Each structure stands twice: as C-alpha cells, then as structure tokens.
Amino acid sequence: MALDHIATNPLPRKAMKAELLDAETERALAYAWRDQRDVKALHRLTNAYMRLAISMAAKFNRYGAPMNDLIQEAGLGLMKAADKFDPDRGVRFSTYAVWWIKASIQDYVMRNWSMVRTGSTSSQKTLFFNLRRVQAQLERRAYADGHRLDRHQLHQKIASEIGVPLRDVEMMDGRLSGSDFSLNANQASDNDGREWIDALEDEHAEGAEQVEGTHDRRQLRQWLVEAMQSLTERERFIIVARKLQEPFRTLEDLGQELNLSKERVRQLEAAALKKMRKALASHAREVQNLLS
C-alpha cells in the first residue's frame, strides 16, 4: 500500500488507528467547530482524516522532498479545509478536504524544487505536475502508430493536450530536465578548471567602446561650448535654463525674472538656437557621425 515505505514513522501508524467517522458524526463535529469554535471537535475531525492527508503526501514523494515535510504540509492543508468547510453544503468533509490537501502539498513541492521560482501561473503549475506523464502518453501513442515525434512536435502536442501556451511547455521542459547548477562550479573535474560563470557574456561595453564613448562625449561638449560662446550673456542664460538644466524653466518664469514678456523670451530662445546651429554647421558631418 502507499504508506508501506513510511511505516516506521509514528504519525502514519497513529493515523491508521484513528476512528472512522460516519456522516452524522462528521457533520456534528463540523458544526461544533464552525459555530462554537470547539477545538476538541476540530482535533477529532482532522485526526480522523489524517490518514487521507498522509496517503496524498506519499504520492508526491517522487519529487525528492522529505516525507515528514510532505506530511506536515498535508496536515496544514487539512487544517485549512476544516476551517473553511461548510457542513450546510451537504458534501462529505473528505471530498472537500482533498483539494486543500493537494494544493498545500503542491505549493510546498514547487517552492522547494528550485531556488528559482517555478510555476508562477496556473498553466505552469499544471505543467509541473503533468508534463512528464502527458509526454509519456503521447510518445507511447506515437510509437504505437509508427511515428516518431521530434522535440518541437512533442511540445506542440503537449501544449494542445494540456491546453497551455507552447512557450510554457518549452520553459517547463527545460526546468524539469535538471536540478539547479551552481555558476561557481568548475567546468572541468579538477579544481583548476574555469568556473561556469566565467563563460557568461559580459553585457557591459568593452574597453574600446568605453574609450570611444568618452572621447565622443568630450568632443560634443567642446563643440557645444564653442557654439554657446557665440551667444550673448542673456541668450546663454535662456538656453541653459530652457535646455541644459532640470527641471526646465518655463517661458513665463524666465520672463518674470528678466522683466520680459513670454513672447520676447521665446524670440530670444529661437534666435539663440539659430546662432548655435550656424556655429555647429562646420561640424555637421562629424556631429551626425557621432550621434549615429
């Protein structure tokens, strides 16, 4: 039976000896807990169905989690079910509790499967627990028909069979293909080999690109300074306030400070920009090459 391999654990042995509740007793205990918060009734109800929780936990033992932890999570799911169970609905507590027990175990398995979060959506969670089973079924069916499915065809059929996006199938297949691997592990068997992290591409700019970028910015700044020198002091003030500092000042704000109308400030700004464009005209081609 499903619990044979954990028979040495005292909790399963105790659970197997728990009483079997008939429908009337179960309903009475559920009412006592819901309406009176009778803790003794809650304990009696949950103890009676702990064997169900342990049996479901045993089905997830293949995922490598410690059996005691799985049983603990199953017990938490059972407690949640008891807290939310409504005896007025006319269903047996075991039928209602199954969903909560399974959900609690599945959440625990997925949280501890990898350091990287797995199954953040309902489709990914469905794939995590069903992908290998559906894959085996499809491969057996194809073999019986004399066909051989390549990886892409298999992923497409899995996506169609389970009703999930193809990209989720491809992602989960990769996640289930192996456990976490440290980037600090050596590529070779000896301790002198490079670590895998050394093989990752550096996304930062290379040294030559950094030097070129610094040179280009310095050149553009120099040309800008030369263009600004062609302006009057008031025009430079307006250009700096309107274009070269944050937050940019409004025409109205500058007009009040300079005792000018907003329209006059706009005219001075336009004239200053025209002077700067003219000053930069001799470097037009170089500027375009640097900015491209």
Residue 178 CA to its chain's centroid (Å)? 19
Tell me the domain boundaries of the chain.
Answer: 4-113, 122-176, 210-291
In this structure, which topology does domain 210-291 adopt according to CATH?
Answer: Arc Repressor Mutant, subunit A (1.10.10)
Q: Give the C-alpha separation, 58 to 234, whole Å.
A: 82
End-to-end CA distance of the chain: 72
- 292 residues of the chain, pLDDT tens digit each: 344 444 456 667 777 777 889 999 999 999 999 999 999 999 999 999 999 999 999 988 877 788 899 999 999 999 999 999 999 998 999 999 999 999 899 888 888 776 455 556 777 778 877 788 888 888 888 888 888 888 888 888 888 888 888 888 888 877 776 655 555 666 666 566 666 566 666 655 555 566 666 767 787 788 888 888 888 889 889 888 888 888 888 888 888 888 989 899 899 999 988 888 888 787 666 656 655 5
In the numeric block, which tokens belong to residue 227?
């263009």
Half-sphere exposure for 106 (CA within 13 Å, toward CB): 16
What pLDDT, on a 0 to 100 scale, did the predictor assign at position 7? 45
Nearest CA to 260 out of 227, 240, 235, 231 is that of 235
Residue 195's beta-bridge partner residues?
186
Contacts of residues 12-17 at CB distance under 8 Å and 24 or more positions apart, as own/partner, are 12/51, 12/54, 12/71, 14/50, 15/47, 15/50, 15/51, 15/53, 15/54, 16/51
The answer to whether the CB of 276 falls within 8 A of the CB of 227 is yes
Q: Which CATH class is domain 4-113?
A: mainly alpha
What pLDDT, on a 0 to 100 scale, did the predictor assign at position 206? 58
- For the whole model, what pTM was predicted? 0.50
Q: Give the C-alpha separation, 260 to 254, whole Å.
A: 8
Q: Give the C-alpha separation, 276 to 248, whole Å.
A: 19
